[in-house]
Amino acid sequence: MVDDFKDRAEFFLVYISEAHSVDGWQTDSNEAESIRIKQHTTLDERRDAAKLCAERLALRIPTLLDEMDNRACEAYSAWPERIYILDPDGKIHFRGGPGPYEFDPGAARASLVDLLRGVDA
């Protein structure tokens, strides 16, 4: 999706509190990949975890950090993962379901196409 629309939309990942911390809900897949992250207690720890995430997933979009008060996560009900599309005025155009079970990039893509059609009209 990023490659298809990078000239017409901005894409960001917002790194929030760790969904699979070793002192919380560590997953078998993280163990298998030797990913062992404690829940962040400082912004530096969150930044380090975000860097690891970006490297391991080979992300090509900018990663932003939620503050330690988790205000972005709370405002957008983002835990553990969610896709949002905002219109040019910053209003929510698409609010995806919570991941992993309702995480639907296809629905997000269709919404972005719809939004861009309206912007171009």
Q: Which residue has the higher pLDDT, 120 or 1?
A: 1
Indicate if the pLDDT at residue 24 is higher than 60.
Answer: no
Q: What is the pLDDT of residues 29-59, one digit of tens each?
A: 666 666 667 777 899 999 998 998 899 889 9
Give the mean pLDDT of 83-99: 94
Burial of 40 (0-12, 13-18, 19+ CB in 10 A): buried
102-106 own/partner pairs: CB under 8 Å, 24+ apart = 105/1
Indicate if the pLDDT at residue 100 is higher than 70.
Answer: yes
Indicate if the pLDDT at residue 107 is higher than 80.
Answer: yes
Give the mean pLDDT of 7-21: 85
Residue pointed to by tokens 């405002």:
75
Q: What is the pTM of this model?
A: 0.80
